[in-house]
């Protein structure tokens, strides 16, 4: 099993920010990434529908031999992580808004969280906030429209800045000194948010902590791949891979070849 790949999935392309960090921290691991772009975004969907989609994807990743699965989607984590852990024997790693980190490091006692409606309504967010931020002034903001800009590869386009100003401006006026990115799509906007917020505000991407947790679980279960051979990444999608190819090239500088991947009895377009 230690030679088997790690699986990562998201409602779309935002989880590539998690893949990037996992690849950096776990350079010997093969990775299969799945973007459910056909059903993106997950934010407006019901919890039952998200659970159904997540279980279908998990079945496919397990069929591909994955030894650990990262749910690189805050909304899917909120709706489905408990069901996934109960249904399967492999370890699952989920996303949580980094409320604890923000609460520990705030100087003003005021923290902003940018996330989706599904994340804010989830048990994990509520439990984490209650545990770590009970005495912190937390300002929440739903980032409507940001996921769609990433999915269209327009996160650096003219539509992005007005939305970010609309969402981040009130947080800055309120005096927050920590902004938590509570959706894996949002780190694509991190440079713009940092430019708007200025050096006195820390913008927190939870991906590094998620990658560290995955590494710890692999070590705990004796699943770390110590083979130094050339590793492989496979990126599959339930929709088009065109935008994924462009985003990956912007992240890595590489060109990717298109192909097909068999997962759970279905064939998906993929990049290698």
* Whole-angstrom distance, CA of residue 130 vs CA of residue 149: 32
Q: Cα 148 to the chain's mean position, in Å?
A: 15
- 3-state per-residue secondary structure call for 127-176: HHHHHHCCCCEEEEEECCCHHHHHHCCCCCCCCHHHHHHHHHHHHHHHCC
Active-site residue, from 66, 73, 230, 270 = 73
CA–CA gap between residue 100 and residue 138 (Å, rounded): 12
String of DSSP letters for 200-235: TSEEE-SHHHHHHHHHHHHHHTT------SPP-EEE
230 is catalytic: no
Q: Active site residue: 40, 183, 230, 270, which one?
A: 183
Q: Assess whether 183 carries a catalytic annotation.
A: yes
End-to-end Cα distance, the chain: 22
Judge contact between 83 and 101, C-beta under 8 A: no
Among all residues, which ones are annotated catalytic?
Answer: 73, 183
């Amino acid at each position: 099993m230690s030679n088997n790949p790690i699986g990562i999935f998201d409602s779309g392309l935002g989880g590539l920010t998690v893949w990037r960090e996992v690849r950096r921290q776990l350079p010997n691991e093969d990775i299969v990434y799945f973007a459910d772009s056909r059903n993106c975004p997950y934010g407006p969907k019901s919890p039952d529908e998200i659970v159904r989609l997540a279980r279908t994807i998990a079945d496919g990743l397990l069929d591909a031999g994955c030894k650990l699965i990262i749910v690189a989607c805050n909304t899917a984590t909120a709706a489905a992580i408990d069901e996934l852990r109960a249904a399967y024997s492999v370890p699952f790693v989920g996303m949580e808004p980094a409320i604890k980190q923000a609460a520990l490091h705030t100087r003003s006692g005021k923290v902003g969280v940018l996330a989706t409606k599904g994340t804010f309504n989830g048990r994990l967010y509520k439990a984490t906030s209650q545990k770590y931020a009970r005495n912190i002034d937390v300002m929440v903001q739903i980032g409507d429209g940001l996921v769609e800009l990433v999915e269209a590869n327009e996160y650096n386009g003219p539509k992005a800045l007005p939305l970010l100003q609309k969402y981040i401006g009130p947080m800055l006026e309120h005096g927050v000194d920590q902004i938590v990115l509570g959706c894996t799509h949002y780190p694509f906007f991190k440079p713009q948010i940092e430019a708007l917020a200025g050096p006195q505000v820390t913008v927190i991407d939870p991906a590094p902590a998620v990658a560290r947790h995955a590494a710890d679980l692999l070590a705990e279960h004796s699943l770390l791949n110590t083979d130094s051979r050339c590793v492989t990444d496979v990126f599959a999608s339930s929709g088009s891979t065109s935008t994924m190819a462009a985003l990956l090239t912007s992240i890595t500088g590489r060109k990717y070849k298109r192909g097909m991947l068999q997962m759970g009895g279905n064939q998906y377009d993929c990049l290698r």
